[in-house]
Amino acid sequence: MPCFIDLHNHSIFGVDDGAYNLDMSKKMLDIAYNDGIKTICFTPHFKAHHFSDDSTIVAYNDRISKNYLTLVDYAKTKYPDMTLFLGNEVMFHSDLCDSLSTNKCKFLGRSKYVLIEFKPETSEFEIKNTISRVLRKGYNPIIAHIERYVAFQKNKQLLVDLKNMGAFLQINSLSVTKFKFGRVARLIKYALKKSLVDIICTDAHNDSDLSPILSKAYKIISSKYGVDYASNIFYNNQFKILNT
């Protein structure tokens, strides 16, 4: 089993709907490390409509930085070969590019890749429009958990269009292991079969039903779609993203 890199993860305590205290964050890091995840980029939610003004954004980001450093200290002591980065999972909004350029929200680590989420019912037009605005700015958009969006479930060709535009596509490991039938399973199967998926991440929110596990999905994908493709979407592509 190779080492994994997780670029979508809510293990930072007390900031969003992920880990709700330090103890849970530590347990999540323990689970991840024991699963072979040696590099994590934490991606707390950034939802512009949750903030009343810029000072509340500053306070939110200060809390994230402080709690992130607490986890860096924990990992340094317990898992010296673990590397942690900071980013955001950014809900699409009209000022998204401004939010990035003014550091209100973060790219993944030191890269110019940004993890963007949409609402399940966001239209094809809105998704394409957001992605092209981000690309025009010279940033690299990664669309979070593509399996969730109705627009893609209804029109799978849209994934090809977005890839051709320059977007990167992410799916959640739990969706691979959990859904065997239905719209989500069909979309995942289509995207994997056509090698459209760029990265698989945990989107972990806790230490129980949404824990940071990649090995189970890796086993399924490497046996169905080959070890080379699995290595790319569980490690190689993530490595390139963090080091670009």
CB of 145 to Fe ion, least distance (A): 7
Which C-beta is closer to Fe ion: that of 6 or that of 35?
6
Which amino acid is residue 70, in one-letter code?
Answer: T
Query: Which residues are CB-neighbours of 34 under 8 A, at least 6 positions away?
Result: none
Is residue 147 involved in binding Fe ion (CB under 5 A)? no
- From 84-92, 158-166, 174-182, 228-236, span contacting Fe ion (CB under 5 A): 84-92
Is residue 89 involved in binding Fe ion (CB under 5 A)? yes
Q: Residue 149: name the closest of 179, 129, 176, 127 by CA.
A: 127
Is residue 16 involved in binding Fe ion (CB under 5 A)? no
CB atoms within 10 A of CB 28: 28
Q: Which of 6, 198, 203, 207 binds Fe ion (CB under 5 A)?
A: 203
Round to whole Å and give the CA distance between 20 and 15.
8
Phi and psi torsions of 111, nearest 5°: -80, 180
Which C-beta is closer to Fe ion: that of 89 or that of 198?
89
Q: Which residue do the tokens 């609402």 mark?
A: 119
Query: Which residues are CB-neighbours of 102 under 8 A, at least 6 positions away?
Result: none
CB of 52 to Fe ion, least distance (A): 23
- Number of residues located near Fe ion, criterion CB under 5 A: 2
- From 123-131, 183-191, 203-211, 220-228, span contacting Fe ion (CB under 5 A): 203-211
Which C-beta is closer to Fe ion: that of 35 or that of 203?
203
User: What is the contact surface with Fe ion in residues (CB under 5 A)?
Assistant: 89, 203
